[in-house]
Each structure stands twice: as structure tokens, then as C-alpha cells.
Amino acid sequence: MSHVALVTGGMGGLGEAICIKLAALGYRVVTTYSPSNGSAQEWLTKMHHLGYGFMGVPCDVTDFDSCKSCVSQVEQEAGPVDVLVNNAGITRDMTFRKMTKADWDAVLHTNLDSIFNMTKQVMEGMTARKWGRVINVSSVNGQKGAFGQTNYSAAKAGMHGFTKALALEVAKHGVTVNTISPGYIGTRMVTSIPNEILESKILPQIPVSRLGKPEEVAGLVAYLASDEAAFLTGANISINGGQHMY
């Protein structure tokens, strides 16, 4: 029986690539989507026509009870969650001087509280079955900081603190917990940045001189979800084209 992989925010550029990669490797893939996403069914239909029978479940990742209902539905309709990819995230970029409490809360709730809300629902089952993978999608800006992103950088850095602590707790139960920190990836969000900014400010910081591909990040997620990655836990793996090394 194939493993069930649950990807939060799986309908975005990076999330879509992760879903496709895991499905190609035989995982039964379920993605969450925001209850306010009016194009979710359109996306699922498009993927179905491409040969991907993804299951989609509405979920507000900032709400604990919504996450509980989501995972319950997944377990009933697809089976126990073996792989959780915490990929959902938002930005509310501005300088700290201009940032409001609402801007701070929105990013922390979506990018960090969601990690607790989702992981809490699946961890007991993973440890009981003695196999599980939790993969938290952070960011290069959680490692090095970024101008105008105190909220985002704090949330993404906090994500890895969560990874390390939980990895220690569940290692003996056959469950791994890891973080990946992508740099600038060629998703719709990044490619919508004005070309002059990309060419003059962003690409010169990247030694490989290009944006990353969503498929490259998806390949890393697939490895961490595999049996071969059983000895890798508590890590933060950078995938940023050499932009930030430490």
C-alpha cells in the first residue's frame, strides 16, 4: 500500500511541484487549500486531466480545529498520513517601522502556528506506526534575515527550532523531522518581481546565476520523504544556489 503524503498549500507553484513529484513516486497525495480559494476545484480538475488524482481538502492552517477536521477527513478517505509537508505560507512585507500587529500576526499564524496545528494531528499516528516524515518548508531568509521581513524571517527561523526539538523527541520511533530552506525559486510569486529588480539585485547574489526550479526543491522533498532518508533528521538543508552558505 502506498504512503499517504499530505502537502499544505499544495496548489501554489512550489506546492504543486512537490505534489507532482511525490505522486510520480507512487505516494497518494492530498493537498490542503484555503477555504477562500475559489479556484481549488479548477486546479484539481486540471491535475486530474494531467493524470494526477490528487485529493484536495479545505483547511485553514491557522486554526487548530480546522486542521484536526482536515486530517480526520484525510484519514477516513485516503488513509493514515505518513508524510506531512508543511509548505503553506504567506508574506506581508514591509519595514518594521510600518508593520502593524495584524501584519505580524497574519504571518506568524500562517507560517509558524500552522506547523504545530498540522503536525499535532499526525504525530501520534506516525510514532505508533514507527514510520513517518515531517518536512518543513522554511526559507533562506529565515537563515540570513531580509530587509522588510521581520515577521517572515522570524516565522521561518522558528520553524527550524521546532524541527530540531521535535526530531529529538520522535527519532527513536522511526519518525524524521527536517527543514528545507529554499532560496529564490522560479514560482509565480518570484517571477512577478520586476525584471530590473531580479536582474540587478537578486540574481547577482546567487552564485549559480539563476533562479531555482520548483522541481529541484520537490526532488529534495522526495528524498526526505523516502526510506533512504531514515538516518537524516533535525537538519536544515539549504537549497539556494549558493546564495547563503554557513
**Strand-strand pairing, 4-7 and 81-86:** parallel
Backbone phi, psi, residue 204, to 5°:
-60, -20
CA distances from 33 to 60, 108, 156, 193 (A): 8, 18, 20, 24
Could you tell me the sign of the dihedral formed by the alpha carbons of 6, 8, 12, 18, in that order? negative
Using CA atoms, how far apart are residues 151 and 197, in angstroms rounded to an integer? 22
* 27 catalytic residue (yes or no): no
- The position carrying cell 518594521 is 96
Can you read off the three cell numbers belonging to residue 125? 499516528
Query: What are the φ/ψ torsions at residue 91 (nearest 5 degrees)?
Result: -125, 150
Catalytic residue among 152, 184, 223, 246: 152
User: Quick check: 138 and 88 in contact, CB under 8 A?
Assistant: no
Three-state DSSP at 82 gives strand
Residues forming the active site: 152
